[in-house]
Amino acid sequence: MKIRVATTNLHKLEEISHILSPFGIEVEKLEAEKTEVQHEDVAVIARKAAESLCRHYGDFTVVEDTGLYIDALSGFPGPYAEYVYRTIGIEGVLKLLSGVEDRRATFTCAAAICISGVVKVFTGSSRGVIAERPRGTGGFGYDPIFIPEGYTSTFAELGVEKNKISHRARAFTALGVWLSKEFKY
């Protein structure tokens, strides 16, 4: 089975491929402009984008959206995580948290797939804390500053272990389980 993921982020595509390979699902990059509605819930954003792409690209079209919700910042940057990363980066986020003791945060991923004109959304979350400084060379985005619960290492330090426990792993594993049951391949 093959799915097409609408993303320009090759790191995400690689992670998704790694997560879904045990299910026998191949991942292909879909060159498509996604519609991004403004909403605080990444599941709503992914659903709307998938509904739009479904009309043009058909079945097995997948859209992924991720948010980083930092408790001390009232959930900021939330669904605007990519924009914040591009504009102020990790250092900017760490500056916002300078002197803040409560560094708890949640990464949430929504994976929306279109089949027969119907969009189904799978979500996954990882609870953790924001590190005091960037650590590790693996991963991408906020991986050097996110330490998942139960670990002392950042996602960037965990390597492929991240693909077993991350928000994206949880969302896409749920998608893989559903596809394998629904289509019994």
Provide the pLDDT for residue 49.
Answer: 96
Question: pLDDT grade, residue 34 (50/70/90)?
Answer: confident
Average pLDDT over the chain, rounded to whole? 95
For position 125, which CATH number holds? 3.90.950.10
Question: pLDDT grade, residue 140 (50/70/90)?
Answer: very high
Residue 184 has pLDDT above 80, yes or no: no
pLDDT single digits (tens) 43-71: 999 999 999 999 999 999 999 999 999 99
> What's the rounded mean pLDDT across residues 19-36?
93
By percentage, how much of the chain surpasses pLDDT 70?
99
Distance CA 92, CA 104 (A): 17
Active site (annotated) includes residue 65: yes
41, 65, 102, 143: the catalytic one is 65
Structural domains of the chain, count: 1
Q: Is 13 exposed, middle or buried (0-12, 13-18, 19+ CB in 10 A)?
A: middle
Q: Is 182 exposed, middle or buried (0-12, 13-18, 19+ CB in 10 A)?
A: exposed
> What's the rounded mean pLDDT across residues 152-157?
98
Distance CA 133, CA 82 (A): 19
Provide the pLDDT for residue 129.
Answer: 98
Domain extent, residue 87, equals 2-183
Residue 185 has pLDDT above 70, yes or no: no
pLDDT single digits (tens) 76-134: 999 999 999 999 999 999 999 999 999 999 999 999 999 998 999 999 999 999 999 99
Provide the pLDDT for residue 33.
Answer: 83
